[in-house]
Amino acid sequence: MTQQRTLRVALLGAGSVGSQVARLLLEHSDELADRSGARLELAGILVRDLEAQRDVELPAELLTTQADELIAGADIVIELMGGMEPARTHILAALQSGADVVTGNKALLATHGPELYEAADQVGATVSYEAAVAGAIPIVRPLRDSLAGDRIMRIFGIVNGSTNYILDRMDRDGLSAEEAQQIATDLGYLEADPTLDLEGFDAAQKAAILASLAFHTPVSIDDVYREGIGSVTADMIADAHRAGYVIKLLAVCERMITSSKAPDAGAVTADGDAISVRVYPALISREHPLASVHGGNNAVFVESEAAGPLMFYGAGAGGIQTASAVLGDVVSAARRHIAGGVGVGESTRANLPITPIGQVTTRYHITIEVADQPGVLATVAGILSERGVSVATVEQKAVVDAEGTARLVIGTHSAREDALQATVQALEALDVVEQVSSVLRVEGAA
């Protein structure tokens, strides 16, 4: 074998993922050299505190607090610090010096992605980010490369492991939201700021990244409609269970083929396409493969025009699992260095308009508590019909309480979100309606 080149790798951050990346770079150096065609020399590890306790013991001589020097000498820079700054500045500095960048920073990409991709293009370097979405699951590369000759119609899936863990424990073990959340906290499954998970911000960042890739359109976190799991109660999950559904926090990225003949098609491009990107708790049939994604796992369905439905399933988080995704990107970057040639940036932007949530259509399950008296169903049905919301199923149950309340569960056909919201308001205004106790969207073919 001929003499191998050595590439200098700078690692920024030594948290749960970063310390595993460092360990694997050191322990698997021969195998990585085989795969890369170059020896990968870990030149240094940027940390905030040289003395901090870490998951993995790291060689003290590699630790540094001097970012500029470390970055300046690197061929490949791995950014695993998280957050906006100084991560953004470091990545830009690395790209400007011609280094390839590998990052798992979903928050940064979902906000400043286009700026970073453009900086990479200008010098012919690359920004890779397999670790930013769905942990260990290879989803970025399949979207970017494997499906590059296809037209992606829809991506939907479970991309946040901690909320899936909470909902799964509620569904399978009958826990309350508070109990399940406490266990997830005790297990360290929630981010330091739990609202990032619980309110769907983490999932929305990943949805923005997936939609950008799939639809060749810049999508930022601000473009993503978002609801967290805070409104999901044990009762809702039990009701869903009885009806053959499970509640999952879903990220949905959808291409909407809007016909110019549609009466109110909203934003329409030359070829009539627009996209919708949204995150919310939704009902999914127990028969659907996503229903059996348990615990902290992630799974992503991709529906494309030619390939049909594909599913990618695996661990959505975890230091060592995510480190696998980081190293895959590092090996690819190293191969590019060895092969020569410029990096291939994100493909030319299709720049599809983003449809407001009001124009999105899905099916719904509406649960209403009503006075148990004649004519109520007719009144309710009239309200739906007036707003163009077509009823698919109705179930009425007498609720045992002093006031003789009944519960109606109405399943709709596909309806527009704005029509549905107007319907809910109108229902709430009715004297016979005590409350609209839940409105859930239904995703996935039944």
Which residue ranges make up the site for a copy of itself (CB under 8 A)? 1, 20, 24, 28, 31-32, 34-37, 124, 130, 136-138, 141-142, 145-151, 216, 289, 292, 304-315, 318, 320-321, 323-332, 335-336, 338-344, 347-348, 350
Residue 118 C-beta: closest distance to a copy of itself, Å = 15
Smallest separation (angstroms) from a copy of itself to the CB of 333: 11
- Minimum CB separation from a copy of itself for residue 366, in Å? 31
* Tally of residues, the chain: 446
Q: Is 206 a catalytic residue?
A: yes
The 3-class SS string of 26-67 reads HHCHHHHHHHHCEEEEEEEEECCCCCCCCCCCCCHHHEECCH
Closest approach of a copy of itself to the CB of residue 167, in Å:
19
Q: What is the residue-wise DSSP string for 279-346?
A: EEEEEEETTSGGGG--TTEEEEEEEETTTEEEEEEEE---HHHHHHHHHHHHHHHHHHHHH-SPPP-S
Min dist. Cβ of residue 217 to a copy of itself (A): 12
Contact 372, 356 (CB under 8 A): no
Tell me how many degrees the CA angle 166-302-333 measures, rounded to the nearest 5: 95
Shortest CB 311 distance to a copy of itself, Å: 4
Catalytic residue, from 206, 248, 261, 397: name it: 206
- Indicate the residue among 18 and 228 with the shorter CB distance to a copy of itself: 18
Q: Which is nearer to a copy of itself, 8 or 28 (CB)?
A: 28
Token output for 166:
């909470």
Q: Which is nearer to a copy of itself, 5 or 216 (CB)?
A: 216
d(CA 310, CA 171): 26
Nearer to a copy of itself, 28 or 241 (CB): 28
Q: Which is nearer to a copy of itself, 74 or 334 (CB)?
A: 334
Q: State the amino acid at position 391 in one-letter form.
A: V
What's the chain's Rg over C-alpha atoms?
Answer: 24
317: alpha, beta or left? (left if phi > 0; alpha if psi -120 to 50): beta
Report CA dihedral (147, 148, 150, 151) to the nearest 10 degrees: 100
Token digits of residue 303: 């529906």
In sequence order, the 6+-apart residues with CB closer than 8 A to the CB of 408 are 366, 367, 368, 369, 370, 376, 377, 380, 394, 395, 396
Nearer to a copy of itself among residue 192 and residue 270 (C-beta): 270
SS (H, E, C) 65-82: CCHHHHHHCCCEEEECCC
Active site residue ranges = 206
